[in-house]
Structure 1
Amino acid sequence: MVQHFRPAFMMLLLFTLLTGLAYPFAILGVSQALLPFQANGSLIVQKNGPVASAIIGQNFTGAGYFHGRPSATSAPDPADATKTVDAPYNAANSSGSNLGPTSQKLIDRVKADMEAARAAGLSGSVPADALTTSASGLDPHISPAFALLQAAAVAKERKLPEERVRQLVQDNVEGRLLGILGEPRVNVVRLNLALDALSPAAAP
């Protein structure tokens, strides 16, 4: 029996060292050497320390901020742990709505979001990403068209020239990956941080 146990134990020990220690530490070393920003959470750091992650959106609701796309994430209901409540951009519970185009709940939500957009002063054609959630519920990006659509309302609330705010949007547009993959986009977290750094007194 010992002759069977010994090689089995040695194989267990070997693969524990390889896959449990050597491989994770090797990947950690490579990631820290080649992609330290991404490996450490893509954190955006300001004077007082980390303020956000560049790859996780936040639920901006103030009139003086650009808003991201709707989020379908949820959290446990404080009043009843067996139920959930809406918790936009809850990074602990990434999820989509899984609602189809015939879902009345989805139709009602889109209509409500459209009415809210109109009430916030958005006029003209509303881009799809203003009314649809991302698959993760955490996407920090919106289309340049959606960002520019919000520029007038943000400028009015901040008492800034609209053209200055529109230029800020253009300055924060990220192009296609390698020039061909994906679509141009704007990171709402970075845009709002840039907006906070822009004071009315500094505007031309």
Structure 2
Amino acid sequence: MKFIGFLFLFCLGIMGSLKAQTDKPAPVTIGKNDTIKTAMTDLDGELVPWIVTPEVKIVDTRIFASEADRMAYNRLRYNVFKVLPYARFAGQRYRQLQRDLALTGDKHKQKELVTACETEIKTLFNKEIKNLTISQGEVLIKLINRESGLTSYAMVKDLKGGFKAFMFQSVASIFGHNLKETYDPEEQKDIEAILKQAGYNSTNN
């Protein structure tokens, strides 16, 4: 009995020793990225690190009422991307002109700057813009206002005076255009949706 009792105590001693060894924390190996600091949130006593995930864009899938509506939307999309580079150029060139004019009080120099701007726009017009369709021209007028914050009429009036603006407006009206037309995101929901889906934002500040 004494031997059995001794054996029993011996076994308990071994088990206790093993348990004590098991309870000891395992050695921690620090990786190369373990020293990177990160923000954390205490969530019910547990520290949860903040993980930055890529931006997720949720967009609706447009359902068209008819095939004709789908084709009209696709034509509008084509026209928007056709004239967008011209509208961007007009907005950027006008803002550059305003900055250049602000840097000099010399009337002669200012006139040269305006003439240079006009020449660039005329060159663009003679090469490409004159070949736009009426629908594309209408979209271009709207997008110029979106890009620059000014109507096409106001830009011409600012650069060339009221009489020139009137003449341009008269010619434009022959083709069914209105240079005083403004861009309203609510009224031009389709154009706005097309631009946003393409990830494009106006450069107008």
Scaled by the length of structure 2, what TM-score is found?
Answer: 0.29
Which has the higher Rg, Structure 1 or Structure 2?
A: 2
Higher strand share: 1
TM-score, normalising length from structure 1?
A: 0.29
Task: Looking at secondary structure, tell me which structure has more helix per residue.
Answer: 2
